[in-house]
Structure 1
Amino acid sequence: MDTRGFHHVAIICSDYDVSKHFYTQILGFPILQETFRAARNSYKLDLKVGDHGQIELFSFPNPPERPGRPEACGLRHLAFTVADVAQTAQSLEAQGVSVEPIRVDELTGRRFTFFKDPDGLPLEIYES
């Protein structure tokens, strides 16, 4: 396998308008394309993350809830690199997002913290 990175991460949200606002207005990801798929009664919103990555934000009628335990099998969280974790955390908090206390990665010495999207998906900001 000749892997050159990852292309996208797909997220299913429970309230499309709330999640679209969160990812575009609060986190600031630019919209690449928005598509309504009538056959599925579903939106697909493609968002640009950095120079090469994307988030595909999906809405579906009545999706099941995410498992509540953070250590459940499967995807644990998404992490985004930022230049300054403290400044980014402060900006998120100013917009009403609850952010955990900043910690230091004991293996790399870099600062990081977590917050959640509107559906409780754990998101991390990690200092580059």
Structure 2
Amino acid sequence: MNKVHHTAIICSNYEVSKQFYLNVLRLEVISEVYREERQSYKLDLALNGDYIIELFSFPNPPERPSRPEACGLRHLAFEVDDLEKTIAHSKKYQVIAEPIRVDEFTNKRFTFIADPDDLPIEFYEK
């Protein structure tokens, strides 16, 4: 294996999630297509030019537990330079971060926000 290629996310409200990933997380659009046969959008997103997320919409997707302690994908984590600046940016979009924690093994600071479908997103300070 070489690297993680991408993470696929199915959202319940495409326009709301699209705005979250573009504005709050500041990801860049690589391509966006509507697949009529599936009644589904597929939005390819990049971070600093690297393809990282496929955002999908499907009619009536089932709910899935997504808190960090639920079985399955625990969370998405993004490295950030300045945790306070990142938290302040999120707050502009009414996205509230949990209290800052400190990793007991690395002594690095981190926090969590949630995407519109309550998927945990971690910001981990460099």
- CA–CA separation in structure 1 for the residues paired with 2:13 and 2:54: 15
Contact 2:77 2:123 in 1 (8 A): yes
Aligned to 1:89: 87
Question: Given residue 24 of structure 1, which amino acid in structure 2 is its aligned partner?
Answer: L
- CA–CA separation in structure 1 for the residues paired with 2:98 and 2:107: 18
Alpha-carbon offset, residue 51 of structure 1? 4.5
Q: Partner of 2:111: helix, strand, or coil?
A: strand
Alignment of 1:42-57 (within 5 A): 42-57=40-55
Contact 2:66 2:120 in 1 (8 A): no
- CA–CA separation in structure 1 for the residues paired with 2:47 and 2:64: 23
Aligned length: 126
Aligned to 1:29: 27
Gap runs ≥5 in structure 2: none
Q: Partner of 1:67: helix, strand, or coil?
A: coil
Equivalent of 1:8 in 6, 9, 18: 6
Equivalent of 1:118 in 82, 100, 116: 116
Equivalent of 1:67 in 65, 68, 93: 65
What TM-score, normalized by structure 2, do the two folds share? 0.94
Q: Partner of 1:18: helix, strand, or coil?
A: helix
Gap runs ≥5 in structure 1: none
Contact 1:45 1:56 in 2 (8 A): yes
Percent of residue pairs identical: 57
What TM-score, normalized by structure 1, do the two folds share? 0.93
Alpha-carbon offset, residue 94 of structure 1? 2.2
